Amino acid sequence: MHAVTLRPRGARNLQDLSVRTTVAVACSAVIVARLVFVWQPLRPDEGGYLLAARNWRAGGEFLYGDFHVDRPPLLMLIFRLAALSDWDRMIRLLTLPFALVVVVAAARAGYLAGGRRAARWSAMTGAALVSSPALGADQANGELFAVAFVSVSVALTLDAWKQRTGAAQYRFALAAGAAGGAASLVKQNFLDGLFFVAVLVLAESMQARGVTERSRLTAIGSAVGAALPHLLVAVWATSVGVGGLRLWTDLAAFRGDAFAVIWRGSTHAPVLRGVTLVALAVVSALVPLIWTWVRACRARRWPLSPEEWAVNGALLFGVASIAAGGSYWPHYLLQLAPMLALACGMVAGTTSPSGASMRLWSTIAAGLAAVAILVTTSVYATMPRVWYQERMGLWLAGSSQAGDSAIVAYGTPSILETSDLTTPYPFLWSLPMRTLDPDQARLRATLAGSDAPTWVVQVHGFDSWGIDDHGRLRSLIVSHYRVAATVCGHRLWLRSDLSRDLAPLPDC
C-alpha cells in the first residue's frame, strides 16, 4: 500500500516540485480560510479561555486563579499569549501557524509512509479537515491546537522509524514523544500520537517475534520525550504553589464528575448533539474516508504493516475518545484529522481501486470544506442574529461604568470578554456550575452579597436543566435587579440600586 517506486532523477525532481507545489497550494488555501474565520465573532469557549487567561494569577482558588477552567496549562498558555493583545480576535489569528503545521506535518508523514504521491494527498486532506467549519475548525478551540502537536508527533515518529542509526532513531523518537505529550497538555484526551507509536512498536515486535533494536529505541525515546513536557508542568505547578491534588482535581477528576452530571440530567441535548455529530462526520467526508481506509486494509494481504496497524490503533482510540466526550460538540471530530490525513496518503498514493476511491473522497472533503466556508461566511454576513453574543457584549460595554461587573446565566462567557467586564462568580460555563455549584448556593450568595455584580445577563432560562426548580434564584434576581433592556432577545438585568445611561440597542 505504501511502497515507493524508484524513478530516474529527473522524474524525482519533478515529483519533489509537485509535492512542494501541492503543499504550498494547501497552505495558501488554509491561510485564506483562516483569515475569513478571523472576523467572525468569538464563541463561548474562546471568550471564556481569553477571560481566564487575562486574569491568570498564582494563588487563586483554582488552578489559574479566580476562575475554574478544566483545560491543561499549554492551552491556557496559548490563550495567555493572545491575551497580550487587546484585540480579542488575536486568538483566531494564532490558529493560523498551528493549522499550517498540520498541513506540513501531514505531508511529511505521508511521504515517509507512502512516498511523494502520498505526501500530496495527505497535505490536501489535512488542509481540508483543519479548514472545515463542519468540524468546528473555524474556532480557536483546544482540538485545533492539539491536532498540530499530534501531527508533528506522527511525522517525527515515522522519521525515527526510517533512520539508519540508533542515535538518530532515538533523537527523533524523543522529539516525537515530546510533541505527543504536549498534545495532552493542550487537551487531556489527545493521546493519539502516543497511541500511534505504541501500536507501531507493538505491531513490529509481534511480527518480528521479539523486540527489535528499532522498536526498543523508538519506545524508550518516545516515553522519555512524553515525560518531558509533563515534568515541566510539574515544575511550574510547584513553583507557583499548585499541588498535584489541584492539578488532578481541576484537570481529571472534574471531567468524570461533569460526565456524570451530563447523563444524570436530561439526555435529550447530548443525544441530539451526538446525532448531529455523526451527521457532520458524514457530510464532511470523515466517515467515507474512514470506510475507504478500512476497505483498503481488508483488501490488503495480511499481515498489515506496523504503520497500518498504528493508524488503525490511533483511529480506534480517537473514535473511542470522541464517544466518551459526553457533550459531542462538532470540534471533537478534529481529533481524527492527523490519522485520516496519513491514511488518505497511504491509500491514495497507490494505483489500486481503493486508491482511486480515496483520492475521490479526499477531493470531495476539500470541496465540502470550501462549501462550508462559503455557507458560514454568508450566514455571518447576512444574519445579524448570529452575532448576538458580541452585540450583547458591546452593548453592555457601552452601558457600563468603571468598576461594573456581570454574571451570565448560564455560560456564554464570550459576552463578558467582549464587554471587558469582570465577574465575581468563578464558574464561567454552565457545566462547571452544574457540577460544582449544583444547588446554586454560591451563585445566590454572590448575587445577594456585598460583591453583587452590576449586571445579570440572562442567556438561558433561570430554571434550565431544572436547576432552579424552586425558583429561589429567580426570586432573588427579581428582588435585587430590574430589566434594563432586552438585547437580541435576551434580558439584561441591572441592580435595582444603580442607574446607568444605556447604549442604543443594536440590530439583531
- By DSSP bridging, strand 406-409 and strand 490-495 are unpaired
Mean pLDDT value across residues 272-290: 95
Mean pLDDT value across residues 83-88: 95
Q: Give the tens place of pLDDT for each residue, 464-489.
A: 988 998 899 999 999 999 999 999 99
Q: Give the tens place of pLDDT for each residue, 187-213.
A: 999 999 999 999 999 999 999 988 999
> Number of C-alpha atoms within 13 angstroms, CB side, residue 235?
6
Inter-residue contact 305 to 1 (CB < 8 Å): yes
Q: Give the tens place of pLDDT for each residue, 220-234.
A: 999 999 999 999 999
What span, in angstroms and rounded, lies between the C-alpha atoms of 446 and 459?
18
Mean pLDDT value across residues 379-393: 94
**Long-range interactions of 449-454: CB distance < 8 A, separation 24+:** 451/405, 451/424, 452/424, 452/480, 452/495, 453/405, 453/406, 453/407, 453/423, 453/424, 453/425, 453/495, 454/400, 454/404, 454/405, 454/406, 454/421, 454/494, 454/495, 454/498, 454/500
Per the model's pLDDT, the better-predicted residue between 4 and 467 turns out to be 467
- Cα separation values, 205 from 152, 198, 210, 218, Å: 24, 11, 5, 12
Q: Per-residue pLDDT for 217 more than 70?
A: yes
Write the CB contacts of 219 (distance below 8 Å, at least 6 apart in sequence): 173, 197, 198, 201
User: What mean pLDDT value characterizes the chain?
Assistant: 93
What span, in angstroms and rounded, lies between the C-alpha atoms of 472 and 47?
29
Quick one: pLDDT band at residue 171, thresholds 50, 70, 90?
A: very high
Mean pLDDT value across residues 34-44: 95
Cell of 150: 499530534
Least confident of 96-105, 119-128, 347-356, 475-484: 347-356
Q: Per-residue pLDDT for 1 more than 80?
A: no
CB neighbour burial string for 466-482, b if at least 16 within 10 angstroms, e if fewer = ebbeeeebeebbeeebe
Inter-residue contact 217 to 174 (CB < 8 Å): no
Inter-residue contact 213 to 101 (CB < 8 Å): no
Mean pLDDT value across residues 112-124: 95
Q: Residue 268: its pLDDT value, please? A: 79
Inter-residue contact 82 to 98 (CB < 8 Å): no
Mean pLDDT value across residues 130-143: 96
Please state the pTM of the whole predicted model: 0.93
Per the model's pLDDT, the better-predicted residue between 336 and 258 turns out to be 336
Write the CB contacts of 36 (distance below 8 Å, at least 6 apart in sequence): 373, 377
Quick one: pLDDT band at residue 11, thresholds 50, 70, 90?
A: very low
Mean pLDDT value across residues 356-380: 96
